[in-house]
Amino acid sequence: MPPHGKTTVPQEQLQTHIDRARKCLREVYGYAEFRPHQDEVIVHVMQGNSAVLVMPTGAGKSVCYQIPGLLRDGIGVVVSPLIALMQDQVDAMRQLGVRAYYQNSMQSAAEQNQVRELIQKGEVDLLYVAPERAVKPGFMQSLEGCDISLLAIDEAHCISQWGHEFRPDYRGLAMLRQAWPHVPCLAVTATADEPTRHDVAAQLGISRDDVFVTGFDRPNIQYTVLPKADARKQLMGFLASRRGEAGIVYCGTRKRVDSISQWLSDQGFEALPYHAGLNSETRARNQKRFLREDDVVMVATVAFGMGIDKPNVRFVAHLDLPKSLEAYYQESGRAGRDGEPAVAWLSYGLGDAVQIRQMIGEPSDEQTHRWTELRKLDQLIGYCESTGCRRNMLLGYFGESRDVGCGNCDTCLHPVETWDATVPAQMFLSCVRRTGERFGVGHIIDVLTGRETEKTQRYGHNQLPTWKVGEEYGSSDWRSISRQLVAMQLVGVEIAKYGSLRLNEASWEVLKGSRTVELKKETRKPTSKRSRAKAAAGIENPSDPQTALFERLRDLRASLAAEQNVPPYVVFHDRSLWDMVAQRPANLEDFAQVSGVGAKKLERYGEAFLQMLQDPE
């Protein structure tokens, strides 16, 4: 991050800010230490400075405005566009004993009046407000005569026309800045490229020197790509050890969403569908169940996910290719907001890539958008076919380069072995040539492996010199070889002609022996599941009694949450439950040491959990 030499304050004063902030983190939130950069930003704001903060999802942006909002005098105003989630955000703060309220258009007049009264009585610490409400004159009036401690703007990229989610209402927020020139403003977002960031700063009158960018890495997400074979079987293999966990399965079409969610339900999963073809009631109901329950698998098109900030989404699986690497970063990024281990799983087949290529169409010189789309597709295929670290490829896309592997993606965990495939590549290309460059992958493989079909007979391809020449490899080996040859563009795909293969310059180099071909071996062990929530609590491989106790605590959490009509994670995160299993606190004093147990939660839930820990039956 750039150095921030804005206001030079005495060292003692800085230390006081840091101490107060840490005390608040411990007492209110029950967390032992700040995450990287949180303290830096908090101290910057506590001194009265404004900033734009770009931090990846789950890194802990909210704390960065909540703590200064609580510690500075007056009301902290938080502008947040997600009305549907405002209630949950406010519930989570109330659970910590913070006097948080919200104002939005879904409230009745009576509710609005009640909040206004509390404001005037000085009984509000944090006030959440929707942007369309914040720009109405009534909102400013309701705060007349009040001290404002800070103005926080969540999802701040919405203010910029360069961003992909521009919201006209956000433009009006500049007005609040003018009305409160001495109030520090913290604009936070997880997605902002450079032009967007600078635009956000400019719109809010924040200096470019006060833009904090902490990187795009999501270290707790494990990236895995599988060459698509039998997608359902692969998905089941992936989900088998994840029963009871919340996750999202993205599919390319509505039809597939319906069939996959039905099939997962038949297999005993709490699977629900979500796509734009369902009526809004069903969508709202399914979304609510996903947010409120712990073990729902949402099977969805990309219509689902915008602004879903459920923290304990443990996996995001893609059964079909996303549109671009950028889209993949966003969609997979909905996993693991709580910082605990999560998996981004992608099943990738050459057929998908060919289909997308056909959908984009053959671009002519002037059709720049098609070229752009094709380039994006190639970057995505590059990611899928990579033999190097997947995280590094993803971060490279955002301009962050790294030399060493991350140790938490499939290629790092199980380094890819390569083999010299020059000879089979030559067989394959020669077969493409001998069959007249008119057929797709399937037929070429039939000829190479000598599989009699109606087509091989009709065209007399069983008479060719390449007939059965590739017998030593199975058809799945051939599928892997051909997919990689296409991905590496060592053979061309005719877009207009149903994906028939044709030779290109590179193919001829291989055929003539002036170019060798290194391909990946593709039989890999499945990646192991290791939860950092458990690991952090000192539990690597939970024994059955430990898991059983965790389940009991989870049930208790669910019933306490249901009583109050709040989502379970608002009561405690999984991390706290595992910490209880590991520490087995026997009294309130010990219980206070559990991660995520602040003063209020100790008072509210200590007894109930202690009792369960002592007598789980």
Report in angstroms the alpha-carbon separations of 606 from 453, 591, 602, 617: 70, 7, 5, 18
DSSP character string of 254-270: HHHHHHHHHHHHHTT-E
Q: Which of 246, 313, 406, 444 is the binder for Zn ion (CB under 5 A)?
A: 406
Nearest distance in Å: CB 27, ligand ADP: 13
Of residues 534-573, which lie at the interface with ligand ADP (CB under 6 A)?
573
- The reply to whether 579 sits near ligand ADP by the rule CB under 6 A is no
Please tell me the distance from the alpha carbon of residue 547 to that of residue 574, in angstroms, as a whole number: 12
DSSP letters of 292-342? H-SSEEEEE-TTS-TT---TTEEEEEESS--SSHHHHHHHHTTS-TTSS-E
The answer to whether 558 and 80 are in contact (CB under 8 A) is: no
Piece of the chain touching ligand ADP by CB under 6 A; list 157-165, 337-345, 357-365, 462-470: 337-345
Is residue 244 exposed (0-12), middle (13-18) or buried (19+ Cβ within 10 Å)? exposed
Residue 57 in the binding site for ligand ADP (CB under 6 A): yes
Residue 127: partners with Cβ closer than 8 Å, 6 or more residues away: 75, 76, 77, 78, 100, 101, 102, 103, 115, 119
> To the nearest whole angstrom, how small is the minimum distance from the Cβ of residue 536 to ligand ADP?
10
Of ligand ADP, Zn ion, none, which one does residue 39 interact with (CB within 5 to 8 Å by kind)?
none
Q: How far is the CB of 347 from ligand ADP (least distance, A)?
A: 27
For helices 368-385 and 350-360, the axis angle rounded to 10 degrees is 170
What tokens appear for 81 in the block?
């566009």
Cβ proximity to ligand ADP, 61 vs 197, nearer residue? 61
Instruction: Return all residues near 64 (Cβ < 8 A) that are at least 6 apart.
Output: 38, 41, 42, 45, 53, 55, 186, 188
Q: Pick out residues in 371-410 that bind ligand ADP (CB under 6 A).
A: none
Options 69, 76, 311, 606; binder of ligand ADP; rule CB under 6 A = 311
Determine if 58 is a binding residue for ligand ADP (CB under 6 A): yes
Closest alpha carbon to 170 in 182, 156, 183:
156
Q: In the numeric block, which tokens belong to residue 361?
A: 């169409």
Size of the site for ligand ADP (CB under 6 A): 17
406 binds, among Zn ion, ligand ADP, none (CB under 5 to 8 A by kind): Zn ion
> What DSSP state is assigned to residue 57?
T
| Burial grade of 236 (CB within 10 A; 0-12, 13-18, 19 or more) | middle
Residues in the chain: 617
Between 90 and 335, whose beta carbon lies closer to Zn ion?
Answer: 335
Among 28, 63, 356, 377, binds ligand ADP (CB under 6 A): 63
Candidate residues 28, 34, 216, 350; the one interacting with ligand ADP per rule CB under 6 A: 34
User: What is the closest distance, in whole angstroms, from the C-beta atom of residue 29 to ligand ADP in the complex?
Assistant: 6
Question: Which residues, numbered 460-479, are part of the site for ligand ADP (CB under 6 A)?
Answer: none
Binding to Zn ion by CB under 5 A, coded x per residue (else -) over 364-403, reads: -------------------------x-x------------
Answer whether 9's CB lies under 8 Å from 114's CB.
no
Residue 348 vs 569, nearer CB to Zn ion: 348
Q: How far apart are CA 391 and CA 330, in angstroms?
A: 14
Which of residues 28, 46, 59, 427 is near ligand ADP by CB under 6 A? 59
Q: How far is the CB of 248 from ligand ADP (least distance, A)?
A: 16
Say which amino acid occupies 443: H
* Residue 58 contacts which entry, Zn ion, ligand ADP, none (Cβ below 5-8 A, type-dependent): ligand ADP
Q: Does 61 bind ligand ADP (CB under 6 A)?
A: yes
Of 80-88, 163-171, 333-341, 514-522, the segment contacting ligand ADP by CB under 6 A is 333-341
Q: Could you say which of ligand ADP, Zn ion, none residue 405 binds, taking C-beta under 5 to 8 angstroms by partner kind?
A: Zn ion
Tell me which stretch binds ligand ADP (CB under 6 A): 32-40, 212-220, 314-322, 514-522: 32-40
Task: Pick one of 17, 337, 520, 601: the residue that binds ligand ADP (CB under 6 A).
Answer: 337
- The residues, any chain, with a CB within 8 Å of residue 420's CB and separated by 6 or more, are 516, 517, 518
Query: Which spans of this chain sit near Zn ion (rule: CB under 5 A)?
Result: 389, 391, 405-406, 409, 412
Query: Which spans of this chain sit near ligand ADP (rule: CB under 6 A)?
Result: 31, 34-35, 38, 55, 57-63, 311, 337-339, 573
